[in-house]
Amino acid sequence: MDESPVGFHRTLIPALLASFLLVVAGRAEAFQVHPAAEGLYAHQLGHLFFTASMGILIYWLRTHRLVTEKGWRFIQYSALFFILWNVEAVVVHYLDDRHDLFQTINAGSWYGEITPVQGLKFPTVLYYIGKMDHLVCVPAILFLYLGLRDLLHKARTARVEEVPK
């Protein structure tokens, strides 16, 4: 495929800009803190709305029998993983405010520690596992990508077959 200089600049400039931003970027936090109660409530409602939306999407895909196609089936898996991610996030946000269950030491550093209070190990373990939400969110994004890629490939194939010769 012959790429023109204009196309080359369209890909090179954003790549250089992204590389520059990665080099000069300061500290980045992996989660968002909501100091005021109303910010956390709105954030939690957003998680619940996203969960309900993904549940409706799964219901709709299954009702219309679209999951028989590979692309839609991958999108269904993506929605399921997004539901799990949102439920996990709601639980972790709730546990973040429960200082009576465990104590965090050096939070946000490479050497952070979570210590159970009064011997309550289950909430501490649940919080620790919940903080690793990338184990659920990354597969959700991957399934979404695979589903959209398959649907795009089928749409391009159908368009080529429709063109009269």
Of 128, 151, 11, 131, whose CA–CA distance to 78 is shortest?
151
- Using CA of residue 108, residue 114, residue 135, residue 78, what is the dihedral sign? negative
pLDDT at 1: 46
Quote the radius of gyration of the chain (alpha carbons, Å).
Answer: 22
Buried b or exposed e, range 92-111, using 16+ CB within 10 angstroms: bbebbeeeebbeeeeeeeee
pTM for the whole structure: 0.72
- Please report how the helices 70-96 and 37-63 are oriented relative to each other, as an axis angle in degrees rounded to 10: 160
Reduced to 3 states, what is the DSSP secondary structure of residue 102? strand
For residue 60, what are the CA distances in angstroms to 54, 64, 72, 112? Answer: 10, 6, 11, 43
- Determine the Cα angle at 47 with ends 115 and 138, to 5°: 75
The residue with tokens 């910010």 is: 39
pLDDT digits (tens, 9 = 90+) for 18-73: 788 777 776 665 555 666 677 778 888 999 999 999 999 999 999 999 999 999 99
pLDDT digits (tens, 9 = 90+) for 81-137: 999 999 999 999 888 878 788 877 776 677 777 888 877 788 888 988 998 999 999
DSSP class of residue 151 equals H
Residue 4 has pLDDT above 60, yes or no: no
